[in-house]
A = this chain, B = another copy of it.
Amino acid sequence: MTLIVAKFGGTSVASPERIKNVAKRLARMKENGDKVVAVVSAMGKTTDELMGLANAVNTNPPARELDRLLSTGEQVSMTLLALSLESMGLRAMSFTGRQAGIETNGTHNKARIVKVHNERILNALEADIIPVVAGFQGIDANGDITTLGRGGSDTTAVAVAWGIGADVCEIYSDVDGVYTTDPRIAPRARKLNEISYDDMLELSSAGSGVLQSRAVEFAKKWGVVIHSRSAFSDAPGTYIKEDPKMEEAVITGIAHDTSEIKVTIRHVPDAVGVAAKVFSALAANMVNMDMIIQNTSRDGATDISFTCPASDLARARETLDVIIPEIGADSVDVEEDIAKISLVGTGMKSSPGVSALAFRTLGENNINIMAISTSPIRLSMVIDSAETQRAVQLLHTAFDLDSDSIFEETQLSAEEIAAKMAKGR
């Protein structure tokens, strides 16, 4: 017997038909003799629709009331899944975040789980009932409903898995696992059987959208094994765990991210505290800087560049319009058509040649690298976004990540691959 937490995203419960399919899958687990707890997101685009209604009546909705509103989405999907299980002759019971004992801090809209009281879920399992838990929500110490932010249902699933000591936390989605890179742009991408928490975290934060970073962090901290797999097939997906018995590859995967822009401040005086002043002003105005590049000084001045999400541009300009005259810099350039390509792999720690091979591969193919940043297990390079696909394919081949079954893989049409996968969004 395996104790499983199975989480189903919005796409998997978007219609009564799909909810019935989820119920059938849970029924098969029960038939196999496993015990299972389901965690569900809201149906399809429900959360966006509720947010749209809130914004229509209040352009700046107070967080506490907003959380009460948003939490209804999962209350609908959890009840429908419980009803569907009951109609198949199984015993099921739905649990709101409060009833499932998900206690969070009081940071509405992006609360963090601080405690999990899973007695009621364990009691239900003991009584051979399938608990169906609302993802994305909890309660704070005041008893107010909180929500965990975008993708919070993954975090709920990992928290419940930890709370009840589940053997595995299965995350079902429209993606069938973690790939070495986005198969939509590199048909030779390979599905990984296993990946370490650290590599998964770097891939997620570098733009691979398979799993919520916070859920992976939580899983790493508490040692919960995640199995990322497809809601539409029975094929195994990718296990995310502490010590995967991996092929000893230097690089685990390549992520790309075209959602950032590059801002360059020209001719910044090279004096103590100037850069700090710029960056603290940007941070204070909620500009999330990712990579920062300070060029070598010339004539007592330098150019400073940083990348940030395109959505932060207005706030960045607002801040720089004030700061630039203050510090005596010249002007601001913005490049919007950039892409960040990231090589990720725990194996990089013991392999010094990674940067050299990456730079040579792109250089020989006339792809200019505008900026570089590294961590012990990641190398990120900013390039022209028009070169994204070519750069990913070249690096994928250079680092020996290409699928062995080239023939088979290349038989797939672009549509088939896109349908099979929706990674990296």
Contact = CB atoms under 8 A, between A and B. Distances in A.
Contacts of A62: 83, 86
Question: Copies per complex?
Answer: 2
Given A57-B19, A57-B20, A83-B54, A72 B72 contact: yes
A58 interface: yes
Interface string A60-71: 111001101100
A87 B58 contact: yes
Interface residues of A, number: 30
The A interface is mostly helix, strand or loop, or mixed, namely helix
A65 to B, nearest CB: 5
B86 A58 contact: yes
B84 A57 contact: yes
A114 interface: no
- A23, A75, A80 pick with most chain B CB within 10 angstroms: A80
A53 B82 contact: no
Nearest to A59: B87
Contact of A83 (B19, B69, B75, B94): B69
Interface string A61-103: 1100110110010011001111110110000001000000000
B80 A16 contact: no
A56 interface: yes
A124 to B, nearest CB: 14
Contacts of A422: none
Contacts of A69: 75-76, 79-80, 83
Given A58-B84, A87-B59, A65 B53 contact: no
Nearest to A62: B86
A332 interface: no
Interface string A217-260: 00000000000000000000000000000000000000000000
A87 B60 contact: yes
B56 A16 contact: yes
18 contacts: A16-B56, A20-B57, A50-B76, A54-B79, A54-B83, A57-B81, A57-B87, A58-B83, A58-B87, A59-B87, A60-B87, A62-B83, A62-B86, A65-B94, A66-B79, A68-B75, A69-B75, A72-B75
5 A-B pairs with least C-beta separation: A16-B56, A58-B87, A57-B84, A69-B79, A58-B83
Given A54-B80, A57-B81, A57-B84, 16 more contacts: A16-B53, A19-B57, A23-B57, A53-B76, A58-B83, A59-B87, A61-B86, A65-B86, A65-B94, A66-B79, A68-B79, A68-B94, A69-B76, A69-B80, A72-B72, A72-B75
